[in-house]
Amino acid sequence: MAQAKDLYELLDISRDATEDEIKKAFRQQARKFHPDNKETGNEEHFKEINQAYEILSDPQKRNIYDQYGLSGLKSAYGNAEAFNFGFGDLSEIFSQFFGETKVHRAAGPERGMDLRYELETDFLEAINGCTKEITVQSHEDCKVCKGSGARPGSKLKICRSCNGLGEVRRVQESFFGHVTQITTCPSCQGNGKIVEQECTECKGKGQELTKKTIDVKVPCGVDDGARLRWGGKGEAGRKGGPPGDLYVIIQVKEHEIFTRDGQNIIIEQKISFAQAALGGTIKVPSIEGEKPLHIPGGVQSGTVLKIPGLGVPKLNNPARRGDQLIQITVETPNKLSGEERKIFEQLAKIQEEKGGKKFGIF
Ligand SMILES: [Zn+2]
Ligand SMILES: [Zn+2]
């Protein structure tokens, strides 16, 4: 399947299309390219359109796709889950056409949903790494029924609507002729069994929306916008399915002194006229506290000096670090004491005698 194509282009919609617009565009395109359409049918293209719709019609998948593209979806869901259409069962596609019944695959274990959390850290916390406690809303197994949805002690019985199959079939008239739709049994949600008495705590759902607290270890060197993933820290799965993953998006606050440029840390340092002319050693702030910096005599405003190895540790390889860069600004004095004025006047005279530029201080 060609996956390089842009999903929005495939459906011929804009990136901010509404759910309705997506649905409408999909129906139009799918009718045009369905393999049964003798004039314009194109099976390959039809599959691509379905892939695009599968992703864009699911707000969570669409969100991931918008931000991280198809590769992001693959890492979030795995190949099979992100691109989940077996073409053995076209009824699923037709159900999307007519939007009447939501079709699920036969009820089996369901993976829990992924959780997403935006975590703000201070500049130095991101540089040095930190552990943060976060609280997220998450669907977890009900404590009373432990996920079964049944009142403790009550039994399960075979669903009479589907005779325990978990799915119901029906033939439907469609644009393309008769189509057999296999849909999840609405009585038992595909379980094939229903509980005699629902758990009163979760009203039979088996899960509850609760707050859970997770310690998140932010590795040193993490940058603004970084996306960290913790497998299995998402919502609980259903029917024995695995839990989802937790995604933490890092937002790094600005620092009043330091700015980051890749692995380097940049500061601006003002020095006096005399320091610039004479040179010397000054103290500058660094992420490890104050450090000495040698200023060469005659340094110009705009010069960038470097302290090697005092930059940002490389993510996953903290032994490797960038440098600290110091942008020098030479400050011209704007208020002179009488004594300073005399010295500058003397200096001007000397420089004039040397044939230098006239300062015009007379
Ligand atoms: Zn319960
Ligand atoms: Zn049933």
**Confidence (pLDDT) at 107:** 57
- From the CA of 160, the nearest ligand is 2
Reported as a single tens digit per residue, the pLDDT across 69-125 is 887 777 777 654 445 443 334 444 444 444 333 344 445 678 999 999 999 999 999
Residue 233 and residue 225 in contact, taking contact as beta carbons nearer than 8 Å: no
Q: For residue 101, what pLDDT is reported?
A: 39
φ, ψ at 157 (rounded to 5°)? -130, 160
Contact 222, 228 (CB under 8 A): yes
How close is the Cα of 241 to the center of ligand 2, in Å?
20
| Separation of CA 167 and ligand 1 centre (Å) | 24
Work out the number of other CB atoms within 10 angstroms of the CB of residue 252. 21
- Of 64-73, 87-96, 300-309, give the lowest mean pLDDT range: 87-96
pLDDT digits (tens, 9 = 90+) for 194-237: 888 889 999 888 899 999 999 999 999 999 999 999 999 999 99
* DSSP-derived pairing of the beta strands 304-307 and 264-272: unpaired
- Which ligand is located closest to the Cα atom of residue 184? 2
Give the dihedral of Cα atoms 345, 348, 349, 353; nearest 10 deg.
180
How high is the pLDDT of residue 98?
43
- Global pTM reads 0.58
Q: How far apart are CA 242 and CA 179, in angstroms?
A: 34
Confidence check: pLDDT of 50 > 60: yes
143 CA distance to ligand 1 middle (Å): 6
User: Beta-strand (E) ranges in 73-176?
Assistant: 115-121, 130-141, 156-158, 167-174
Q: How far is the CA of 217 from the centre of ligand 2 (A)?
A: 44
Of the listed ligands, the closest to the CA of 149 is: 1
Neighbours of ion ligand 2 (CB under 5 A): 159, 161-162, 185, 187-188
* For the chain, percent of residues with pLDDT exceeding 70: 86
pLDDT recorded at residue 354: 81
**Is residue 294 predicted with pLDDT exceeding 50?**
yes
Supply the mean pLDDT for the chain: 84
In angstroms, the CA 32 to CA 41 distance is 6
Q: Nearest ligand, CA of residue 157?
A: 2
Task: Fill in the DSSP letter of residue 104.
Answer: -
Q: State the pLDDT confidence band at 154, using cuts at 50, 70 and 90.
A: confident
Which one, of 331, 327, 332, 330, lies nearest residue 284 by Cα? 327
Cα(141) to centroid of ligand 1, in Å?
8
What's the chain's length in residues?
A: 362
**Residue-level pLDDT at 96:** 45
The model's confidence at residue 285, banded by pLDDT at 50, 70 and 90, is very high
Which ligand number lies closest to the CA of residue 207? Answer: 1
DSSP 189: T
Q: How confident is the model at residue 43 (pLDDT cuts 50, 70, 90)?
A: confident
Q: At 358, is the pLDDT very low, low, confident or very high (cuts 50, 70, 90)?
A: low
Walk me through the domains of the chain, giving residue ranges and CATH numbers.
1-87 (1.10.287.110), 259-331 (2.60.260.20)
Work out the pLDDT band at 33, boundaries 50, 70, 90: confident
Nearest of 196, 340, 330 to residue 275 by alpha carbon: 330
Predicted pLDDT at 311: 96
Ligand nearest to the CA of 198: 1
pLDDT at 3: 46
CA distance 209 to 212: 9
Which residue from 270, 250, 267 is spatially nearest to 258, judged by alpha carbons? 267
pLDDT confidence bin for 293, thresholds 50/70/90: very high
What is the CA(148)–ligand 1 centre distance, in A? 7
Distance from the alpha carbon of residue 158 to the mean position of ligand 2, in angstroms: 8
Q: Is the pLDDT of residue 335 over 80?
A: yes
pLDDT of 52 above 80: yes
- The 10s digit of each residue's pLDDT in 337-357 is 999 999 989 988 998 888 755
pLDDT at 88: 37
Ligand with the closest atom to the CA of 193: 2
| Token reading at 267 | 């500061």
Closest ligand, as measured to the CA of 191: 2
Mind spelling out the 3-state secondary structure of 237-257?
CECCCCCCCEEEEEEECCCCC
**Closest ligand relative to 154 C-alpha:** 1
